[in-house]
Structure 1
């Protein structure tokens, strides 16, 4: 009898031990990665981690997927609410000071060694690549999750940017070129792809461009030698010469993205109803493994744009509107998106303009760290749009209230064309571009200017 009791108790202890191990395995050791270093966790653990400050949830996919696009066959587009981004694509970029840039990104996003790091993807590769990278940097508490499981459960919350469709992934552009119907383009009947760059075709376009695209020299919308936005009469002639109509869908690309965004905002201003930009430009295309072409494609002119130009005048804030807005700071903010040295008057930022300073009442809104072509505060290392929460946080610290009308300015409109679009992607609607910018303002002798650090 005693022997039977001992055997029975032993069996019970084994059963409890197995149950305990099973539960523990489910929570901590469900499945090892191919390298035996990272714990693959389930959806329940991710939900728990979202409410645990010791965890950071990281989206390792292309930033287009983070923004809202349904890529790689995922059933729902967008990201897990509360996730930050660190794309595996960033690890493939060749750039000066790459490690410094990536280290700054990790710190900004709270991806630090003391935290438990959950990396998710949808292709079974991106999270592994980022995990390997973090391991080399000394991270130890790394977990991996399959985002498809989250997307397939309609009861789990996901989020995206309201107007994510305004900046397009390379794979979607490829689908369009191949004649396929692509997400958010289902009703687009007349799609044109444009390469925008400064100078003649030989400057950039002839070296390689997105297939089927035709070239636009930015001088067409910003005539030299002033390189300021052309008047409406010139823009009307530009529209018909390059074959644009009001009902077109236009995707603008470029080696230098600011040129693409500049042309895109001009097209929106004149009244083209559906204008988008390739997120990451030519770099995104080649990093996706797609070939550029060198054949020169020519636009086909039209007789009539099909609407009044400008069809969307609110894109541009005129000099008069800007001066009036500065008198009502409770409703209007002029956001100066130049470098700090430009803002305080140490540099003009332009070889062809020597006046230095800023517009009184303007608020520093950041752009880049080095020169008038840098966009560090708004781009990732692969030239895609930065996590909007990060630049919105910067604006908040500057006292920039997105509930007011935000008028973005730089030197003459290139940098802010990109920033304006990003603000629009997020869903900020009461915005405009003071296209004359610092150059236009300072060229008028009666306009007030100031230098030095602003008084607090």
Structure 2
């Protein structure tokens, strides 16, 4: 199963005999809350999922784990069952932005053992651009599903493992904007810069302006220029793990398995002893 689905193919699937469960994960850094956009317009039948509450665990006093810690299996499993997901359920996730939040949901489902999940390429914008209908009607609660989380479906790194990964010759991609990587600007986190040895690979550089992913051949060429070549191990990070999940998704589309440093920069800087690099 491909990890992306077009608006036309989703519309056809929703009209089929076994329609997928659709999750709207609209969210953007700094707000406004995604639920506001969902209440105005969403794909008919889509359930809203709150990234901060259902796709993230609680914050720690020290900041360890990052701004969006990976939720505990029990909490994530309960959330997914609430939306009717079971082991054989096809799931499509989307958001109203650049598919960053949708990629977070895609990665979490796969990490907890559910690989029957796809991201709507281009998100809600692609859906409306195709003149497909939207609604403000909130669907009835789903019949509870039977999803049981089984961690380990993807490779997840912590800070120490990430440091060892770089030291061992792995390619660590930083999905944030270039100015944040270089330490020229840091609007969110307490320190500016990047993990020593990381390579800047902003998520905006392998997507179209409308949020759709570029063709696989284009993406493969882009990542090859960043050192992603056969035989090299790859991992990604960002500020809090969401945009990096988008980068892991892009790599998955071109057939490259990649680990995710889930805590990302916000976790890395929670320990003042960890080194910080700036510049190119």
| Range into which the TM-score falls when normalised by the shorter chain | 0.7 to 0.9
How large is the Cα RMSD of the aligned pairs? 2.3
Give every structure 1 segment of 4 or more consecutive aligned residues whose post-TM-superposition deviation is greater than 6 Å. none
**1:363-415 deviations in Å (ceiling 9; x for gaps):** 22233xxxxxxx2x121133211123333333333333353121011111222
For residue 204 of structure 1, what is the aligned residue in structure 2?
A: 37
Q: 1:202 to 1:239 in 2, by over 3 A?
A: closer
For residue 387 of structure 1, what is the aligned residue in structure 2?
A: 215
2:233 is the alignment partner of 1:405: yes
Q: 1:202 to 1:238 in 2, by over 3 A?
A: closer
Distance 2:119 2:273 in 1: 38
**1:403-436 deviations in Å (ceiling 9; x for gaps):** 312101111122222221121111113x121111
Q: Secondary structure at the match of 1:309?
A: coil
Q: 1:305 to 1:443 in 2, by over 3 A?
A: same
Distance 1:422 1:277 in 2: 11
Q: How does 1:53-64 map to 2 (within 5 A)?
A: none
Distance 1:390 1:170 in 2: 21
For residue 47 of structure 2, what is the aligned residue in structure 1?
A: 214
Verify the 8 A CA contact 1:246 1:273 in the aligned structure 2. no
Which has the greater radius of gyration? 1
Farther off after superposition, 165-174 or 317-326: 317-326
Which of 193, 218, 227 matches 1:357? 193
Gaps of 5+ in 1: 1-162, 181-188, 368-374
Distance 1:289 1:303 in 2: 31
Q: 1:232 to 1:202 in 2, by over 3 A?
A: closer
Distance 1:348 1:402 in 2: 33
Gaps of 5+ in 2: 60-66
Name the TM-score, length of structure 1 as normaliser.
Answer: 0.54
Which of 255, 258, 274 matches 2:100? 258
Verify the 8 A CA contact 2:87 2:146 in the aligned structure 1. no
For residue 113 of structure 2, what is the aligned residue in structure 1?
A: 271
Verify the 8 A CA contact 2:84 2:143 in the aligned structure 1. yes
Q: Secondary structure at the match of 2:235?
A: strand
| Equivalent pairs, count | 267
Q: 1:190 to 1:291 in 2, by over 3 A?
A: closer
Q: How does 1:31-430 map to 2 (within 5 A)?
A: 165-179=2-16, 189=18, 191-198=20-27, 202-219=35-52, 220-223=54-57, 226-256=67-97, 257-300=99-142, 302=144, 304-306=146-148, 308-314=149-155, 316-329=156-169, 332-350=170-188, 353-367=189-203, 375=204, 377-429=205-257
Distance 2:225 2:33 in 1: 42
For residue 112 of structure 1, what is the aligned residue in structure 2?
A: none
